[in-house]
């Protein structure tokens, strides 16, 4: 049941992020979103409670945490790089290095073991 709640949280955060990015104008459509808005929408979903639940409690949580670390570090770097409306090759490289570094650090970090409740 909790996994269903987490999936609903992910869906609602995705819908909310897209509605905010699209705005309420007459020309609002998914095709009109620029790269910055797409990256911010994806980052919003990655930060949702549903993704956090699967990172901590999902069946493959160490791997899910690793993927989320890769995406969130890479996206954060790319959003910063888009301040001048384009991404250079060196900025792509820095974003990739940040993503890979975060992936390795998260995968190697050991979490605290939860003790079962009686």
What's the pLDDT tens digit per position in 41-86?
888 888 888 888 888 887 788 888 888 888 888 888 888 888 788 8
Average of per-residue pLDDT across 13-33 = 75
**Residue holding tokens 């309420």?**
24
**Quick count: other Cβ atoms within 10 Å of Cβ 15?**
12
Question: What pLDDT score was predicted for residue 89?
Answer: 92
CA dist., res. 42 & res. 94, Å (int): 19
**Quick count: other Cβ atoms within 10 Å of Cβ 107?**
14
Q: Is the pLDDT of residue 113 over 60?
A: no
Average of per-residue pLDDT across 21-42 = 76
CA dist., res. 79 & res. 36, Å (int): 6
């Amino acid at each position: 049941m909790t996994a269903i709640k987490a999936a609903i949280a992910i869906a609602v955060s995705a819908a909310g992020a897209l509605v905010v990015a699209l705005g309420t104008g007459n020309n609002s459509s998914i095709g009109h979103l620029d790269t910055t808005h797409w990256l911010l929408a994806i980052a919003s979903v990655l930060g949702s409670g549903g993704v956090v639940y699967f990172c901590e409690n999902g069946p493959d949580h160490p791997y899910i945490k690793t993927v989320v670390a890769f995406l969130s570090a890479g996206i954060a770097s790319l959003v910063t790089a888009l301040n001048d409306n384009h991404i250079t090759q060196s900025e792509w490289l820095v974003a990739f290095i940040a993503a890979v570094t975060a992936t390795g650090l998260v995968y190697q970090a050991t979490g605290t073991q939860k003790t079962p409740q009686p």
